[in-house]
Amino acid sequence: MVDVVANSKYNYMGGGFVFVDFSLANIKIFTNARWLDYPTRSGLRLILVSDKLMEPLAAYWKVRDDRIFSVLYTSDGYENILKSIDKIYLRKMNATRVRGRMTEKEVSVLFLVLDGCSLKEIAGELQIGSKRLYNIKYSIERKLGVRLFHAFQF
């Protein structure tokens, strides 16, 4: 992303944006709703740069919090990312397309799983049955395209 911005025809460095690496490698950072507090202290607008696996979670945060100005999807390819950056910096529009976003319940389960909670603890915390929890688990895995729950003791 740095190469795209640095090598494009516009000087974006003074554009007032913070690009956030919203990749699976950083998923633990995004399990706390307060993760937005730190980057927004700068007063700059946030742009999430999401990898393919994190698109549903990025879309969830974009819809949920107006401090996120836009989401760039690395799966869109170089040319489309350039076009989106042009639109963002030229303030023509917010270039985000919302994709299969996660639900509030799915995000709650994901956060608890990443915190190391057991099935029993999650069911108790969210006051849902095991069957419903399994359905949410499968929905999360389908949306993210990865089995994040191998550590989840079913």
DSSP 32-52: SGGGGHHHHTT-PEEEEEE-G
Please list the rounded mean pLDDT of every run of 10 residues in the chain (154 residues).
53 67 86 82 86 90 87 87 80 58 91 85 93 91 74 40
Task: Indicate if 38 and 73 belong to the same structural domain.
Answer: yes
pTM for the full model?
A: 0.77
Structural domain tally of the chain?
A: 2
Task: Indicate if 48 and 71 belong to the same structural domain.
Answer: yes
Residue 153 in any domain: the answer is no
Instruction: Quote the domain boundaries for residue 17.
Output: 2-89
Task: Indicate if 13 and 64 belong to the same structural domain.
Answer: yes
Task: Indicate if 124 and 85 belong to the same structural domain.
Answer: no
The pLDDT score that the predictor gives to residue 4 is: 55
Residue 72 in any domain: the answer is yes
Task: Indicate if 74 and 132 belong to the same structural domain.
Answer: no
d(CA 17, CA 75): 21
The pLDDT score that the predictor gives to residue 154 is: 39
Task: Indicate if 39 and 73 belong to the same structural domain.
Answer: yes
The pLDDT score that the predictor gives to residue 99 is: 60
The pLDDT score that the predictor gives to residue 151 is: 40
The pLDDT score that the predictor gives to residue 39 is: 84
Task: Indicate if 16 and 82 belong to the same structural domain.
Answer: yes
- Cβ contact 74:47 at 8 Å: no
Task: Indicate if 75 and 110 belong to the same structural domain.
Answer: no
Task: Indicate if 7 and 75 belong to the same structural domain.
Answer: yes
Task: Tell me the β-bridge partners of 49.
Answer: 21, 72
Task: Indicate if 83 and 109 belong to the same structural domain.
Answer: no
Task: Indicate if 84 and 137 belong to the same structural domain.
Answer: no
